[in-house]
Amino acid sequence: MDFQHLSFDPAPSIKTPPPGPRSQQYLAFQATHEAAAVSYPRGFPCALARGRGATVEDVDGNVYLDFFGGAGVMAVGHGNPEVVAAAEAQVAQLTHALDLPTPARRDLVERLREVLPPALTRVFFGGPTGSDAVEAAVKLARLNTGRAPLIAFEGGYHGMTSGALSLSSGRSFKNRLLPLVAEVHFVPYAYCYRCAFGKTRDTCGLQCAQHLDHVLEDPHSGVGTPAAVIVEPIQGEGGSIVPPPEFLPKVREICDRHQVLLIADEIQAGFCRTGKMFAFEHSGTVPDIVTLSKALGGLGFPISALAYKEALNTWGPGAHIGTFRGNVVAYAAGAAALRFMDEHDLAAHASRLGEQLLTLLQEVERESPFVGEARGKGLMLGVEFVKDKATKEPAPDLASRVRSLCFKRGLLIEIGGHYSNVARFLPPLVLTEALARRGAEIFAESVRDLKIG
């Protein structure tokens, strides 16, 4: 499938070294009038004017290759014409309806039911952010089990509201905010590049999953029987970490044995990003509850949802409410996006292109003394920077310098990882082979520059 016509051409195209004069004005205004909590302009300082496909244009006319994709939101690409048409038509009809049924809402539920595993019979729309879906999932699990404890994974990210933040592992987000939600316990994820048990994949016997089993089995592990285990089937903010294929099925089996619910957080990895509609499909695992958001809104319209098994549908009216229980324009855009994904087999495209891009990034890994590992699945990729390949000492400063060098050349990338040392690639899935290659070239050149710097 050639998606070239969806993006700006040529791309990237840097006419004025960024940030250009107009961007500088916007950035200065923002710095003066907005909160110190604003963060992305620190990574790529520019003001955006337009977006098309896998490219965005700033207010100075610079065109960037967008390998950030609105933090994984823009699966079908900026300004996707089919999705824009559906959203515009909906805006003209009706834009807010709380949780009353509407044709658009029904259409999206039908589309979701088509792509979700049949066992996940129920769809719930809560507040407009992924974090709220996580809050709702936790509430549903606790109401159904009558238990409070929760188990999450090291490296996991689930959002910024109090409950979701409690389940997220990053210390920097939590420092000085205690106490958060009590009874949340963390266990190691299958982060094989930095195994918490010092093992290597060929001989580990999946010790991380075994540790989860131990925590649930040992009456003196210090952890009460949890309501749920929450897991990202492929970790996003943790550094694009793909666990071995046996990991998720093992977690599922352990949860079943201990009668603990399994919540899969697909907010970032879902909707074709990893080469399947949902990342849990890579291992054939079916969770009890799935959280959805980001690409669900088609073009970045804010919406989140849960899908869950019939037996869990025990909560009563108003159990999780809010003014924005879904969003009518987002339903229309989301349904159109799901149609686009299906008609263009976007999952297969992401899988194919992701393999090609990963191969190019692995060449950078071989070539550079500062790249410890290039990894990922589909178009959810990461490159982990280290000071030394043997010691694996994290190099967040190098990741940050590479992001800045890429930006100046017209490539937007994100940074994540346990040590903020992973360059992350989450491009719109309508990326083309030519743009993928161009992005990889810019990244490789920027990494080469680290030698000089």
Query: Which residue ranges make up the site for ligand PLP (CB under 6 A)?
Result: 71, 129-131, 134, 157-159, 232, 236-237, 265, 267-268, 293
**Least CB distance to ligand PLP at residue 234 (A):** 9
Query: Based on CB atoms, which residue is closest to ligand PLP, 102 or 129?
Result: 129
**Least CB distance to ligand PLP at residue 13 (A):** 29
Task: For residue 299, give the nearest of 34, 28, 52, 31 by alpha carbon.
Answer: 52
Query: Based on CB atoms, which residue is closest to ligand PLP, 63 or 422?
Result: 422
Count of CB atoms within 10 A of residue 176's CB?
Answer: 5
- Those residues whose C-beta lies under 8 Å from the C-beta of residue 39, and which sit 6 or more positions away, are none
Query: Based on CB atoms, which residue is closest to ligand PLP, 157 or 189?
Result: 157
Query: Based on CB atoms, which residue is closest to ligand PLP, 134 or 358?
Result: 134
Distance in angstroms (rounded) separating the CA atoms of residues 130 and 113: 19
For residue 139, give the amino acid letter.
K
Query: Based on CB atoms, which residue is closest to ligand PLP, 150 or 267?
Result: 267
Task: For residue 315, give the nearest of 137, 163, 446 by alpha carbon.
Answer: 137
**Residue 398 contacts residue 420 (beta carbons within 8 Å):** no
Q: Omega of the bond prior to 12 within 30 degrees of 0, cis? A: yes
Quick one: which H or E segment has residue 151?
Answer: strand 150-153
User: Which residue of the chain is nearest ligand PLP when measured via CB?
Assistant: 130
Query: Based on CB atoms, which residue is closest to ligand PLP, 7 or 129?
Result: 129
Task: For residue 436, give the nearest of 350, 369, 343 by alpha carbon.
Answer: 350
Using only the alpha carbons of the chain, give its radius of gyration: 21
Query: Based on CB atoms, which residue is closest to ligand PLP, 282 or 438?
Result: 282
**Least CB distance to ligand PLP at residue 214 (A):** 26
Distance in angstroms (rounded) separating the CA atoms of residues 273 and 164: 22
63 strand-pairing partners: 13, 57
Side-chain half-sphere exposure of 279, counting CA atoms within 13 A: 32
**Least CB distance to ligand PLP at residue 344 (A):** 24
Query: Based on CB atoms, which residue is closest to ligand PLP, 272 or 386?
Result: 272
Query: What is the DSSP secondary-structure string of 355-379?
Result: HHHHHHHHHHHHH-TTEEEEEEETT
Query: Based on CB atoms, which residue is closest to ligand PLP, 382 or 410?
Result: 382
Query: Helix 328-343 to helix 346-367 angle, to the nearest 10 degrees?
Result: 80
**Least CB distance to ligand PLP at residue 158 (A):** 5
**Least CB distance to ligand PLP at residue 423 (A):** 16
Where are the strands (E) in 215-355, listed by range? 228-231, 261-265, 289-292, 305-308
Query: What is the DSSP secondary-structure string of 27-71?
Result: HHHHHHHS-TT--HHHHS---EEEEEBTEEEETTS-EEEESSHHH
Query: Based on CB atoms, which residue is closest to ligand PLP, 158 or 409?
Result: 158
